[in-house]
């Protein structure tokens, strides 16, 4: 099935430049990260069969197998191909079928039909991964890689972490379609009930502030340039909104009251027939929740998640508040430790806020992505990368809203205060929730 290329490691001219000691150290560090990140992907897929990795449950999702191959294609196309003289691809067809949306690279397999690619098999994809991984590691350790390519390797690892989160949200969506209600991991979403403190607020003065990434460490291009802006005084709720609070909104007729909703939001809930968050189902025994640990009772103290921007916005309106702007969120998060409930805890489900946190901001990182009221737009002076990688972020800057802070499915090392995630306002299959804000 798989045509394997015999490319021996002839690095191209691009990689023959003299390397400084710092470069060598960086390359070595990247080689270690490559192992760690790629190993994390492997572990994520362990509970799944080849058949589990095959289907695509909706056009927005992708098969697990495709995620594994696409992240490999990324390294092959953007690292190996420019780095290696006489580069031969692992399999010529992979160039097309595992290209996501890089028009500059070439044709793509139609997105809604990714689940129909039964070949290559999962086993072949593991071989593809090993083949590319080994060559990238050799490049990094062989000294034959310049700073630009190091940057691309680093981007490729963060790219892989993004797909790790998608693997979790896509498999959750897939398993939710079956009457068998399969658990991805029996230990996931184990409840830790505790009394949640009443909602409290913390105020911020705002003023002329600086927003965006400062250049220390990795960031995506969409976090730059760091720039000044004026933020008016505001307050943020110290914790996320819970299922219990969301149920109050529902019981108060939230889904039947048009004045609470944006016009497009109201149209969406009518058309989709939404009357609760995704994965909630009303059973005779009360509200049940589908989680990566299977079906279980809904807990009132856990953060609400799997809601669209429209629902987050309507809840905030009902609560007499609003969603935070992304600058407000970033300003508040800047001073926070990046503790939280991430993918590494393998809970894969948001956790109740600690009552001890009442006065301080809590849950800013991890648990759930927080919808902001900011459309996803370029920062003043934004320049996308040149070449195909310029398609990574910039071309999506329309019709999407920014989310901040990472979730229980995000790797801890992937997130930072300046990180801008983005999804269309009707997307619900991510671990998305909300924190209230208000003018102060």
Is position 55 an interface residue for its own copies (rule: CB under 8 A)? yes
Is position 263 an interface residue for its own copies (rule: CB under 8 A)? yes
Which run of H or E residues covers position 333?
helix 326-333
Is position 46 an interface residue for its own copies (rule: CB under 8 A)? no
Contacts of 31 (CB under 8 A, 6+ apart): 137, 140, 141
User: Are 421 and 402 spatial neighbours (Cβ–Cβ below 8 Å)?
Assistant: yes
Indicate the residue among 65 and 135 with the shorter CB distance to its own copies: 65
Comparing CA positions, the residue from 237, 440, 247, 437 lying closest to residue 357 is 237
Comparing CA positions, the residue from 87, 117, 121 lying closest to residue 99 is 117
Binding its own copies by CB under 8 A: which of 37, 38, 45, 52?
A: 52
- HSE toward the beta carbon, residue 392, CA cutoff 13 A: 21
Is position 378 an interface residue for its own copies (rule: CB under 8 A)? yes
Binding its own copies by CB under 8 A: which of 18, 22, 208, 284?
A: 208
Binding its own copies by CB under 8 A: which of 227, 252, 275, 282?
A: 227
d(CA 149, CA 128) in angstroms, rounded, equals 21
Is position 4 an interface residue for its own copies (rule: CB under 8 A)? no
Q: Where are the beta strands (DSSP E) in 342-387?
A: 369-375
Is position 54 an interface residue for its own copies (rule: CB under 8 A)? yes
Token couple for 124? 């072949």
The full length of the chain comes to 440
User: Are 369 and 378 spatial neighbours (Cβ–Cβ below 8 Å)?
Assistant: no
- CB contact burial 108-137 (16+ within 10 A = b; e otherwise): bbeeeebbebeebebebbbebbebbbebbb
Residues numbered 316 to 355 that lie near its own copies (CB under 8 A) are: 325
Residues numbered 406 to 435 that lie near its own copies (CB under 8 A) are: 425
Is position 195 an interface residue for its own copies (rule: CB under 8 A)? no
Indicate the residue among 243 and 291 with the shorter CB distance to its own copies: 291
Is position 197 an interface residue for its own copies (rule: CB under 8 A)? no
CB of 339 to its own copies, least distance (A): 30
Binding its own copies by CB under 8 A: which of 10, 20, 148, 177?
A: 177
CB of 120 to its own copies, least distance (A): 8
Of 26-34, 70-78, 173-181, 243-251, the window that binds its own copies (rule: CB under 8 A) is: 173-181
Q: End-to-end CA distance of the chain, in Å?
A: 64
Is position 266 an interface residue for its own copies (rule: CB under 8 A)? yes
Token couple for 381? 């002076």
Token couple for 415? 């997130």
323-203-226 Cα angle (round to 5): 70
d(CA 104, CA 97) in angstroms, rounded, equals 15
Of 6-14, 67-75, 92-100, 337-345, the window that binds its own copies (rule: CB under 8 A) is: 92-100
Binding site for its own copies (CB under 8 A): 1, 49-55, 57, 65, 93, 96-97, 101, 103-104, 109, 113, 115-122, 174, 177-180, 182, 208, 227-230, 232, 258-259, 261-266, 309-310, 313, 325, 373-375, 377-378, 380-381, 390-391, 395-399, 425, 439
């Amino acid at each position: 099935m798989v045509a394997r290329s015999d490319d021996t490691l002839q690095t191209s001219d691009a990689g023959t430049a003299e390397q400084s000691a710092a470069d060598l150290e960086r390359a070595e560090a990247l080689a270690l990260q490559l192992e760690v990140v790629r190993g994390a992907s492997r572990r994520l897929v362990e509970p799944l069969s080849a058949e589990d990795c095959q289907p695509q449950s909706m056009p927005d999702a992708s098969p697990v197998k495709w995620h594994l191959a696409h992240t490999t294609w990324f390294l092959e196309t953007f690292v190996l191909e420019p780095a290696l003289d006489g580069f031969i691809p692992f399999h010529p067809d992979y160039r097309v079928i595992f290209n996501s949306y890089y028009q500059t690279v070439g044709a793509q397999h139609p997105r809604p039909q990714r689940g129909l690619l039964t070949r290559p098999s999962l086993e072949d994809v593991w071989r593809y991964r090993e083949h590319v991984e080994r060559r990238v590691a050799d490049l990094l350790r062989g000294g034959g890689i310049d700073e630009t390519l190091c940057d691309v390797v680093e981007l490729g690892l963060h790219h892989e972490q993004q797909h790790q989160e998608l693997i979790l949200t896509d498999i959750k969506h897939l398993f939710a379609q079956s009457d068998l209600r399969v658990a991805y991991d029996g230990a996931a979403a184990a409840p830790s009930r505790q009394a949640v403190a009443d909602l409290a607020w913390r105020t911020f003065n705002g003023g002329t502030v600086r927003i965006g990434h400062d250049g220390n460490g990795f960031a995506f291009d969409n976090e730059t340039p760091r720039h000044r802006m004026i933020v008016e005084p505001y307050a943020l709720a110290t914790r996320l909104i819970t299922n219990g609070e969301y149920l109050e909104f529902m019981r108060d007729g939230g889904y039947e009251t048009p004045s609470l909703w944006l016009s497009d939001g109201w149209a969406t809930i009518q058309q989709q027939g939404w009357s609760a968050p995704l994965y909630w189902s009303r059973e005779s025994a009360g509200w049940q929740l589908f989680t990566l640990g299977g079906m279980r009772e809904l807990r009132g103290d856990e953060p609400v998640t799997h809601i669209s921007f429209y629902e987050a916005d309507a809840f905030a309106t009902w609560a007499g508040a609003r969603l935070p702007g992304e600058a407000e969120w970033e300003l508040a998060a800047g001073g926070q430790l990046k503790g939280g409930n991430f993918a590494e805890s393998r809970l894969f489900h948001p956790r109740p806020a600690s009552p001890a946190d009442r006065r301080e901001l809590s849950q800013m990182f991890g648990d759930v992505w927080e919808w902001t009221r900011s459309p996803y737009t370029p920062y003043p002076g934004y320049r996308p990368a040149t070449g195909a990688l310029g398609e990574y972020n910039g071309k999506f800057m329309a019709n999407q809203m920014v989310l901040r802070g990472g979730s229980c499915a995000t790797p801890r090392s992937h997130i930072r205060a300046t990180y801008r995630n983005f999804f269309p306002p009707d997307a619900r299959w991510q671990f998305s929730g909300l924190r209230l804000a208000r003018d102060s």
